[in-house]
Amino acid sequence: MNGHSNRETAAVALSLLDLTNLKDDCTEAQIDALCARAQTPYGNSAAICIWPRFVAQARNILGTGHAVRIATVVNLPSGELEVADVAAEAREAIADGADEIDLVIPYRKLLAGNETAVTDMVKAVRAECAGPVLLKVIIETGELKDAALIRRASELAIEAGADFIKTSTGKVAVNATLEAADIMIRAIRESGRKVGFKPAGGIGSVADAALYLSLAETIMTPDWPMPSTFRFGASDLLDDILAVLSGTQSAPAAASSY
Ligand SMILES: O=C[C@H](O)COP(=O)(O)O
């Protein structure tokens, strides 16, 4: 994507977008609206990302064509539920029609030195994600803070079977950063496995998206970011994507140098 126009970046970002509503007070009406917004005149977002209680509703609206995938979250935001309860959350969400499970690791236990807790959690939810269900593992980089720990959490998630590693819940003080992204994408590259990357939280503009895409393309290859390997987790990014694609707003100059 290096050297691509803002419009091209916006179109790519749309195809990679997990259009998110994880507001605590999200309503059924907002889920109706989210499903509609995910299908734009310029193409669909990759997925919507919603609370488990709305998965069945979204599946009814979106049907079984999977043109917009349904992602949901388990063990979010605290990362502190019991493994069996999280596995049950995932099982129920998949039965309701979820295509993708975004799982928060027990990051506080990892901060206390307990790597086994992370491995056990990821493996248990992996076992629920049979067939085509994607498992995206949130390591909560803004709470781990330390670069070596972000790297280690990435390795543990990958080794335990993550399809994607994701930076953040969007619920803590520090969410996606380019520094964390750099560590995580390198961990993916060095694992030698086909694992995707999802920066999430606070990404609100096409210019922001361009920076993450550029980083991923530099560390991996220019053709690496695609819906099977890269997603943006964002609740506000679609507004700027549509503004750029409709020509009603130019992205800031920073994006044009990407
Ligand atoms: O997983 C996605 C994040 O929760 C979205 O965070 P955001 O509302 O800051 O875009």
Spatial CA neighbour of 225 closest among 185, 168, 178: 185
What's the rounded Cα separation, in Å, for the pair 235 and 70? 15
Helix (H, G, I), strand (E, B) or coil at 209: helix
What's the rounded Cα separation, in Å, for the pair 11 and 20? 18
**CA end-to-end distance (rounded Å), the chain:** 7
Please report, for the chain, the start and end positions of each structural domain, with discontinuous segments joined by +: 6-245
Residues pairing with 69 in the sheet? 47
For residue 219, how far is its CA from the centre of ligand 1 (angstroms)?
24
Q: Whose CA is nearest to atom 4 of ligand 1?
A: 170
Confidence class for position 250, pLDDT limits 50, 70, 90: low
Give start and end residues of each alpha helix (H) in 50-114. 55-62, 83-96, 107-111
Reply yes or no on whether 166 is catalytic.
yes
Domain 6-245 belongs in CATH node 3.20.20.70: yes
Residues pairing with 50 in the sheet? 21, 72
Counting ligand 1 atoms within 8 A of each CB, the residue from 16, 104, 137, 235 with the most, and so the one to mutate, is 235
pLDDT digits (tens, 9 = 90+) for 29-46: 999 999 999 999 999 999
ipTM of the complex as predicted: 0.96
Helix (H, G, I), strand (E, B) or coil at 152: helix
Reply yes or no on whether 99 is catalytic.
no
pLDDT digits (tens, 9 = 90+) for 52-95: 999 999 999 999 888 999 999 999 999 999 999 999 999 999 99
Q: Whose CA is nearest to atom 2 of ligand 1?
A: 233
